Amino acid sequence: MVYLEGGPGGKALELARLSFTPYYSPFLDDRDFIMFDQRGVGFSEPALDCPEYVEFSYDILDKRLSVKEAADGSVEAAEQCRKRLLATGVDLRAYTSAESAADVNDIRVALGYDEWNLYGISYGTRLALTVMRDHPEGVRSVILDSVYPLEVNLYTSVLDNVARAFSTLFTACESDSACSERYPSLEKTFYGLVDELDAEPQSVTIRHPITREDYDVLITGDRMLEFLFFSMYSTGLIPHLPQAVSDAAEGRLQTMAALHGNLLVYDLFSTGMHLSLQCGEELSFTSGDDIARAADAHPPLRGLLERDPTFDQCEVWESRRSAPVENQPVVSDIPTLVLAGEMDPITPPEWARVVAGNLSRSYAFEFPGVGHGASTSGGCPLSIALSFLNSPRSEPDSDCIGEMTGPRFR
């Protein structure tokens, strides 16, 4: 079994020391489990790390910058990184999903496997789909968890996805008698808090989960949006979010700070590889007008999109403009398991259904109360994944989904 890391740009081997035992060790009971750093990432050479951007990201945590100031700073950092990488002979156009898919197949051949199973989460599913398209030989089965299809536009749909996830969370709390009693009108409380923090930001100390270093962070309305958005990736954090919002609205930011620490991991991410892929394969199919219309469609959430630096950074980055095939659905008859979390804020269950519709031997499941990376939440999603691997041409038993009750709010 080969694991395809997300991001794009996630450092699989760095993250493994934190996540392997709880997330992936169950797969070792029946098969080899292979992890590798994709080209441009982590221990691969050359690595497209951008310490200039990492330093900028940490430096501005305690500052309130306008959208333009933040964009200008991120572009300057990207430009410095680009110039340094080019000076060392790096060809930034060599980093694409198709090239990485060829690497995956080369690893299989080099290790002597006649066939293996692909397991991708988030961007890793996009890479898995590319392998299925370009190098289907030797692929026994595929697990696509939290699917990022080739044919969708991540940036123009991100606020639609966030709005859906936020609404799902607020509705779940309202439908839970204990949650609704303890945190009444949670949606109104949250957006009221965003407005208050826009008017008067509050400072809080957040501890880095790995280095244990403390950072002073200025919590603005946009940072509160980011907090809820990124926290909903984690199934384990979701039950704590109503309390975090309510406490923050009452001036107690410590609950949010304790949860937010897991998000300060800029250094576990290869910005250069991320830009090479996203600039060439996603934003090359997107215009500034498209971004503006997407932001206008969700005024309360627009800060999430406006403060994403990727579009501005792509103006100075060098990447290979993708062929039309990189924006088209993948059709395959390889046995595939497609997993989706009901509360995933970035890759919604609808994307899982879209992808499964083009895979003739696929089984798709959605899990209530689950965020991004459904299989890493353990329990029912993991059991279905393990069952599928043992017999990928038979639909796995999914009765356990009916026993799932959604978040157990704190």
Domain residue ranges in the chain? 2-45+93-153+324-403, 155-266
In degrees and rounded to multiples of 5, residue 169 shows phi and psi of: -65, -50
Mean pLDDT, range 245-250, rounded to an integer:
96
- Residue 263 scores a pLDDT above 70: no
- Residue 320 scores a pLDDT above 80: yes
CA neighbor of 151 nearest in space, from 305, 291, 358, 326: 326
Q: DSSP secondary structure string, 230-254?
A: HHTT-TTTGGGHHHHHHHHHTT--H
CA neighbor of 373 nearest in space, from 147, 131, 127: 147
Residue with tokens 């259904």: 353
> pLDDT at position 338, please?
98
> pLDDT at position 211, please?
81
> pLDDT at position 268, please?
85
Interatomic CA distance for residues 375 and 371, integer angstroms? 10
In degrees and rounded to multiples of 5, residue 140 shows phi and psi of: -75, -45
In SS3 terms, 45-76 reads as: CCCCCCHHHHHHHHHCCCCCCCHHHHHHHHHH
Lowest mean pLDDT among 129-143, 151-165, 247-261, 384-398: 247-261
- Contacts of residue 344, Cβ cutoff 8 Å, sequence gap at least 6: 146, 161, 165, 232, 233, 370, 371, 372, 374
More confident residue, 264 or 75: 75
Query: pLDDT digit string (tens) for 188-218?
Result: 999 999 999 999 999 999 988 778 889 999 9
- Residue 262 scores a pLDDT above 70: no
> pLDDT at position 261, please?
67
What secondary structure letter does DSSP report for 133? Answer: H
Share of the chain above pLDDT 70, in %: 99
> pLDDT at position 264, please?
73
Residue with tokens 């300057």: 76
> Which CA distances in Å does 94 have to 41, 292, 321, 374?
13, 30, 11, 31
- Residue 258 scores a pLDDT above 90: no
Lowest mean pLDDT among 11-25, 130-144, 295-309, 372-386: 11-25
Q: DSSP secondary structure string, 327-392?
A: GS---B-S-EEEEEETT-SSS-HHHHHHHHTTBTTEEEEEETT--SSGGGG-HHHHHHHHHHHH-T
Residue with tokens 């989960």: 209
The three-point CA angle 179-180-185 to 5° equals 125
Mean pLDDT, range 299-313, rounded to an integer:
94
Query: pLDDT digit string (tens) for 43-98?
Result: 999 999 999 999 999 999 999 999 999 999 999 999 999 999 999 999 999 999 99
Please tell me the pTM assigned to this model: 0.96
> pLDDT at position 259, please?
84
Query: pLDDT digit string (tens) for 30-47?
Result: 899 999 999 999 999 999
> Which CA distances in Å does 354 have to 23, 241, 266, 285, 358?
26, 29, 31, 19, 7
More confident residue, 153 or 261: 153
CA neighbor of 51 nearest in space, from 12, 77, 79, 72: 77
> pLDDT at position 208, please?
84
Q: Is-cis flag, bond preceding 8, omega within 30?
A: yes
Looking at every residue in the chain, the average pLDDT score rounds to 95
Token code pair at residue 73: 């700073």
- Surface-to-core class of residue 110, CB atoms within 10 Å of its CB (0-12 exposed, 13-18 middle, 19+ buried): exposed
Q: What is 2-45+93-153+324-403's CATH topology?
A: Rossmann fold (3.40.50)
> pLDDT at position 19, please?
87
> pLDDT at position 260, please?
74
Give the number of other Cβ atoms within 10 Å of residue 163's Cβ.
15
- Residue 250 scores a pLDDT above 80: yes
- Residue 410 scores a pLDDT above 90: no
- Contacts of residue 69, Cβ cutoff 8 Å, sequence gap at least 6: none
User: Strand, coil or helix: what is 398?
Assistant: coil
Query: pLDDT digit string (tens) for 323-382?
Result: 899 999 999 999 999 999 999 999 999 999 999 999 999 999 999 999 999 999 999 999
Give the number of other Cβ atoms within 10 Å of residue 195's Cβ.
11
CB contact at 8 A, 150 and 323: no
- Contacts of residue 351, Cβ cutoff 8 Å, sequence gap at least 6: 147, 148, 149, 152, 340
- Give the containing element (helix H, strand E) for 175: helix 154-175
Interatomic CA distance for residues 367 and 235, integer angstroms? 11
